[in-house]
Chains A and B, each alone.
Chain A
Amino acid sequence: MSPGVMRGGGAVLLFLLAWEVAGRMIFVPAVLPAPSAIAAEGWARWLSGALQWDVLMSASRLAVGFAAGSLLGAFLGLLFGAFAPVRRTLEPLVQFLRFIPPIAWLTPVLIWFGIGEEGKWVLITYTTTFMVLLNTLAGFAEQHRDRMRAARVFGAGSWETFLHVRLPATVPWILGGMRIGMGNSFQTLIVAEMLASNEGLGQLILNSRLQLSTEGMFVGIAGIAVLGILADSAFRAVTRRLFRRYRLGW
């Protein structure tokens, strides 16, 4: 084991131990339940089959929203990057909308899309799109003077320089935006599940709050964290292999 992993693992273990002691000796479970109590609650939910169902529903919502948001964000980003007039006209609108969080859209989405799955997808798509779009635009802002000159010397027209120089140079930025966007879509999951849902990890957090079951709330929080770490590692592993020529730094 590398010293980095050992230090990290040691810190996590020490933290859990301190939390366990604090949870048992100092706080009542309603305020801060010990990790063992949270694990027990999670295990009980797993045995009853409720936890698997929550994870499955949340994962499907995240997958749809993240995929749609990434595609839309990358598409808009490339469109903005390829056609400057499009960017100049639409960018102010994007800049304005990015300060309006998904939670503010809760009621309009409820009215327009109802209480089904669509509304939840829309909210997660919304939050992912901006991150991918903004990162793609940042990628286009990067100058590649020498590469552009080289391409022009070889007779590439403006479309060819876009296709062979600017587009490939943006790929790492799109992927980076997707990684950040994935964090955002996980953060938005709980908002999406505020839209009348009966299952899901976000719903578990919200519902436990009403029932004053702090253990349940932490099971939901831990579930989202574990799912997020797994999804991020999977994304890194896959993109590292698929996009080897870009030498992604992860």
Chain B
Amino acid sequence: MSAAIAKLSGQGFLHHLTWLVLRLLPFVGMVFLWDFASRAFDVPVLFPGPLSTWNKAVQLIADGQLQADILISLWRIAVGFVLGSLLGMTLGLMMGLSRPIADTLGPFVHTLRFIGPIAWISAVMMWFGLGETSKVVLIVYTTTFVVLISTMIGVMTIHPNKLRAARVFGARGFRLFAHVTLPAALPHVLTGARLAMMNSFMTIIAAEMVAAREGLGFLIFNSRQWMEVDAIFVGMITLGLLGLLADRLMTLLTRVLFRRFRPADA
């Protein structure tokens, strides 16, 4: 009761306010630092400050270009992320459950881990053309491995006593999988998916280097050719904010939908 009163009284509110200010402080400091640095830089065009970046953002929004870029990029990320997560989860479960499959696919997974999506751009362009497929393929590529490895670890680290207990009660085959293995591995799958979400946001630029005419990656990479640094900054900040938002949304959804599995990060 007293705690509830403290929450409602000014003290609790003040506490929340201080906390919010503390959280916003680094961003404010960053903006000031950015402004100072851009003023100190010799060639202002090459290092626009917060104000000119803001103006550019306003202009891009007025043109409707930024909204269009955001939508198309989010669509590509969503499709690639969902397909990649499903593929990674399937392969990861297979590798976690079967030693021979793990041994067979292992070398490929561990080799491809070091090769970034950007290295595949030309190959993907040749194999999948210049359309949407190539862009989605690159995002699927970057998502799959993270989810795969995480899922595999999840299946492999299930406590043997859990499986033994289920077997004693007569569960085997599909029932063992559906009631013990899958629920136990799910937190790892979700952690992997969260990391993969970050990867897919980072890969969108590489994906849109493949002959795109719109999208946030296109905005960043195309502006590079014209040295429109203010547009690059707009693209970068938008990407960072959207990524952060998607991450929060996913954590929230996981917490609501999969409460009984208690993912480690939620």
Contacts and interface: CB of A to CB of B under 8 A. Distances in A.
B201 interface: yes
A89 B23 contact: yes
Given A108-B232, A225-B115, A100 B107 contact: no
Interface string B190-229: 0000000010011101100000000000001101100101
A68 B123 CA distance: 32
Interface string B98-134: 0110011111101111111111111100110000000
B247 interface: yes
A217 interface: yes
A190 B119 contact: yes
Interface stretch (A90-98, A165-173, A239-247): A90-98
Given A104-B239, A107-B229, A99 B198 contact: yes
A228 B114 contact: yes
A134 to B, nearest CB: 9
Chain A interface residue bracket vs B: 35 or more
Contacts of A220: 119
Nearest to A218: B123
A199 B142 CA distance: 26
Nearest to A107: B224
A8 B227 contact: no
A232 B242 CA distance: 33
Contact of A217 (B122, B220, B240): B122
Range for the number of chain B residues in contact with chain A: 35 or more
B249 interface: no
Chain B: interface secondary structure? helix
Interface string A199-227: 00010010011000010010011001101
Contacts of A228: 111, 113-115
B116 A188 contact: yes
B95 to A, nearest CB: 12
Interface in A96-138: 96-101, 103-108, 111-112, 138
Contact of B103 (A4, A103, A104, A191): A4
B263 interface: no
A199 B201 CA distance: 29
Contacts of B247: 95, 99
A31 B111 contact: no
Nearest to A103: B205
A92 B20 CA distance: 11
Contacts of B265: 138
Nearest 4 CB-CB pairings of A with B: A99-B243, A228-B114, A187-B116, A101-B202
22 contacts: A4-B103, A7-B103, A11-B108, A12-B108, A89-B25, A93-B30, A95-B247, A96-B244, A99-B198, A99-B239, A99-B247, A104-B235, A186-B116, A187-B115, A187-B119, A189-B116, A190-B118, A202-B119, A225-B114, A227-B114, A228-B115, A229-B114
